[in-house]
Structure 1
C-alpha cells in the first residue's frame, strides 16, 4: 500500500498507524464491493412496462396533470423518489432528510437524468411542506387517486414506503429499471443509506450514528438545511 498519501498527523502512535492501515484496506474493499453492485445493477435486463399515469403538479401557481413520460425531459432515464406520507403521521422525517439533500444536488443530477418526487398526499399538502423545507429545486408531484404506488409495489400497511426508483423511456414506452426500499425484504433496515450523505458522515464519528433519527422540523428560513 502506497504511503504517498498519509491519513494521520505527525506524532501518531504505531498502534494507531497499524489500525488505520487495516481500516484503509477495508475501505478500499468496500469501494470495490460498491462498484461490483453498481455493475450488477447496470446489467439488469429489461424491466416491466408501466402505464403512462397522469400525476398532478403545480406549475406557475396552476395545478395541472402531467404524464409520467413527460418527467424524463431530454433524458431516457428518470429517478423517482417515493415520498412516504400517511394521513396520521404526515410526511416521513427520513424522507424529508433525503429530499433536503436531493434538493441541493438536483441541478447536477438533472444534467444526467430526469428527477421527480412522487407522493400519495394531495398536491397542496406536498407544496406546503416543500415550501417549509425549502425544496425549490425539486419537481414534486402527487399520485393521489392513481394506481401508481400499487403498480410499483411500494405500498405498505401504513402507506407508501420510502423508496427510490429508476425508470427508462424508449420512445413512448416507459419501463421500470430498478427500485430500492429503505427496508430490505428480510425486514432489516439501512436499505437506502448509501443515498444519503448524512448517514455516511455520522458513521465517521467515534460514537457512530447511535439511535439518532431525523426530526421533521421545517428548515429555518426556508433553507434546505437544518
Structure 2
C-alpha cells in the first residue's frame, strides 16, 4: 500500500501514522459492519396510535398533522427528540448544536427519508427558535398534547426504576430526553425500526454517551485535532 508523505515529516511520524491508518481502516470496516446489522434488524413493534403533532403550515399558521402523514413519499421516517420543553428557558445546548449541523444535511436526507424534529414546546415557540438559529431546512413539530415522547423515550416518564436510578431521575420528577427513532411503513402499518438507545447505556468514564456522534460534525472535527474534545461542551450562545 502506498502512503502519503507530507513535507519534512520524520520516519517516526510516518511509522506511527501508518499504524494509526490501519486502525482507522479497521474502524471504518467495523462501522459498516454495524450499519449492515442495523439494516438487517427485523421490524419492531407496531406504533400504538397515529400520533397527532402540530406544525407550522403553508399559511404560516399552526396545523395538526398525523404521524402517518409525516412520511411524505417515503417509507422511512426519522424523528429526533429535541430537549426544548416549555419548562426550559433555553433549549439543550447539546441538542441545539447538533441541529445546527443537521439543518444543512436535512435538504439531502429528505431525498431518501423523512426527517422531523419533535419537542414539547408549543409550535410557535419552536418556530421562533428555528428562526433565531437560522434553520432553513429542518421541519419542527410540537408533541404538546400527545404521548409520543413518553412512548418513545423522548422523556423519562416511562423509565424503569433501574433506569431512573441509573440516570439520577428523582422520584416524582421527569424531564425531556434526546433520542433518534426510526419508523418504517410496511403492509399498511407503521412499525418502529431503531432507536438510539446508546443515549441511555452507561457511558465510558469521562465520556458523553456519544449516541449521535455519527451525525454530529462538531465532535468529528474536534476528534481530528491534537487537543481533541477535552472538557469542551457547546453553548446555546457565546457572548
TM-score, normalised by the number of residues in structure 2: 0.85
Question: How far apart, in 1, do the equivalents of 2:13 and 2:200 lie?
Answer: 35
Aligned to 1:167: 183
- The structural deviation recorded for 1:145 is 1.2
Unpaired runs of at least 5, structure 2: 157-168
Aligned to 1:112: 112
Unpaired runs of at least 5, structure 1: 219-226
Give per-residue Cα distances to partners, 1:15-59, cap 9 Å, x unaligned. 000000010001001101101110110111111111210100011
Question: How far apart, in 2, do the equivalents of 1:97 and 1:131 lie?
Answer: 15
Q: Is the 8 A contact 1:181 1:192 kept in 2?
A: no
Task: Rate the CA distance shift 1:89–1:23 in 2: closer, same or farther, 3 A.
Answer: farther
Aligned to 2:224: 204
Task: Rate the CA distance shift 1:182–1:101 in 2: closer, same or farther, 3 A.
Answer: farther
Specify the SS of the correspondent of 2:196: strand
Runs of 4+, deviation exceeding 6 Å: none
Specify the SS of the correspondent of 2:218: helix
Give per-residue Cα distances to partners, 1:184-220, cap 9 Å, x unaligned. 42245112212201101101110101111111129xx
Correspondence 1:67-216 to 2 at 5 A? 67-86=66-85, 87-156=87-156, 157=169, 158-181=174-197, 183-188=199-204, 189-216=209-236
Question: How far apart, in 2, do the equivalents of 1:14 and 1:196 lie?
Answer: 34
Question: How far apart, in 2, do the equivalents of 1:197 and 1:114 lie?
Answer: 20
Do residues 28 (structure 1) and 25 (structure 2) align?
yes
TM-score, normalised by the number of residues in structure 1: 0.90
Task: Rate the CA distance shift 1:215–1:182 in 2: closer, same or farther, 3 A.
Answer: farther
Question: How far apart, in 2, do the equivalents of 1:181 and 1:119 lie?
Answer: 18
Q: How many positions carry a matched residue from both structures?
A: 215
Task: Rate the CA distance shift 1:28–1:69 in 2: closer, same or farther, 3 A.
Answer: same
Q: Match for 1:14 among 7, 11, 14?
A: 11
Please provide the CA RMSD for this pair.
Answer: 1.6
Q: Is the 8 A contact 2:153 2:179 kept in 1?
A: no
Q: Is the 8 A contact 1:71 1:78 kept in 2?
A: yes
Aligned to 1:53: 51
Question: How far apart, in 2, do the equivalents of 1:182 and 1:193 lie?
Answer: 11
Task: Rate the CA distance shift 1:29–1:122 in 2: closer, same or farther, 3 A.
Answer: same
Give per-residue Cα distances to partners, 1:113-144, cap 9 Å, x unaligned. 01111111111111111110111211110001
Question: How far apart, in 2, do the equivalents of 1:44 and 1:146 lie?
Answer: 28
